[in-house]
Structure 1
Amino acid sequence: MKFRLHPILVPFFLVLMVTGGLAFYALVFISLLFHEAGHIFAAKLSGMKVRSCTIMPYGGELRIPDRYAYGKRQRVSVAIGGPAATAILLLLSMLFDFPGDEQFMRIQLVILALNLLPILPLDGGQAVSVLLEKEEKKYKMRSAFLIYSITVLVAVILLLLLGLPETVLFVALALFLLIQNISAFKFRKYEQAYEQLKRKQLTS
C-alpha cells in the first residue's frame, strides 16, 4: 500500500505552524494519521484491498480498486472507521491527563464533527450516500448526492466569507471539498461506465 500526503497540506500546515505553533501542528498531524488508520483497519476487516492512502486536511482518502463492487455494510464500515478512531482518541483525552490534553481534545472534536457532516467526500457523506443507494437507481442517487454536497458547500463558503480572516482555514478547506465534488461530478459517467464494464467481466 502506498502512503502519501496531499499537496494541499503544505499551505494548510504552514498556516497551522504560524498560528498555533509546532506543537499544535504535530497534534493535528498525529490525529489525522490515527483517523486514517481507522479507515485502513476497517477496510482490512471488511476484506477490502487498499491500494493507497492519501492524507488530507480533514482526514484522508483511500484508493480501493472496484470499491463499488463491495457490499453496503463493507463500505459503510470503512466510512465510519475513521470517525470511530477519532472518537477513541477523544475518549482517551477525556480519561487521561497529559500535557496539551485540552488542545488535543479540541482537535479531535473538530475532526470528528467535520467528518460526520453528511456531505461528500466526508465520512458522514460517504456513509449516507451508501445507505441511500438502491440498485436500480444508484447512479442517479450518487449524482443527486453530489449536487446536494456541492450546493451545501457553496452556501457554507458564502457564510464563512463573512467571518474572514478568522475563518480562512475553513474557507480553504470548504473550497477544496467543493473542487473535489465538482471533479467527481464531471467524471461520474466515466466511473459508471467503468463499473458496468467490470461487472460484465465478472459475470461473463
Structure 2
Amino acid sequence: MNRYLLLLLSTTLCSLSANLLAQQHLPAWESTFSENRIGCIELGDDAESSISKLKHYFTVQLDSIPFGSFNNGKHEPIYVVRDDQQNIQFKFIVGKQSHKIDYLELCCPSYTSKNGLKVGCTVQMVKEIYKKLKTTYFYDYGLHIYPNKTNYALKINDDSWLKLGYEPFTYENATMDSIPNELVIDRIAILDKSTRSKKRKSNKKSQE
C-alpha cells in the first residue's frame, strides 16, 4: 500500500472517529415545543447553524414547493425535517434577508407542550387548555384557531370535517361557537407575529 493510500485511509478514519465522538456527546433530542421553539430549534436562530445541528438527528430537505410569502418578489425557502422513517417532524421557514428562522410548523403528534397541546388534539381539548380563542379561515390554508396572546396558529384537519358530514365550503364563516368540538388539529404553526406583520407591511410598500 503506497503512502498516498495510507494517508487517505488515516484521514478517513480520523473523520469517522470525530463524527462518532461528536454524536456520543450530543444531547438527546427532546420531543417538546413551546411558543418559540421545537426541540432545540428556536425562532430567530441562524438558519445555517440550525440546519447543521438538525442533521445530527434528522434529514433536512429544502421543500420543492416554496412558501407563498414574497420578499421583494422572491419566495422564502421552507425546509422539511424528517426522521429515519421519512416521517415529517416539522417544517421551518427562513427569512430571505435575515437568514434566520421566523416560522416553525409542527406536523408530528409525538411532540407535546408543557400544558398538553399537541398535534392530534381535538377542539374540545384546545378549549380546555386555552379559554380565549379566535378562528380565521384562509382559502389557501384552511381553518385555523388562535389561542389568545400566544404565537400559535392551530390548523384544523380538513378530513375531520368531512367525517362529521360537513362540506368544505360550510366552514368558511365558522366561529368558535359553531366549530364542532370533535374536530382535530393536524398542524401547529409557531410564528413571531410581530415579525411576520412587519414583513407583510414591508412587502406591501415594496409592491406599491
TM interval, shorter chain, is under 0.3
- Larger helix proportion, structure 1 or 2? 1
TM-score by length of 1: 0.27
TM-score by length of 2: 0.26
- Larger Rg over CA atoms: 2
- Larger strand proportion, structure 1 or 2? 2
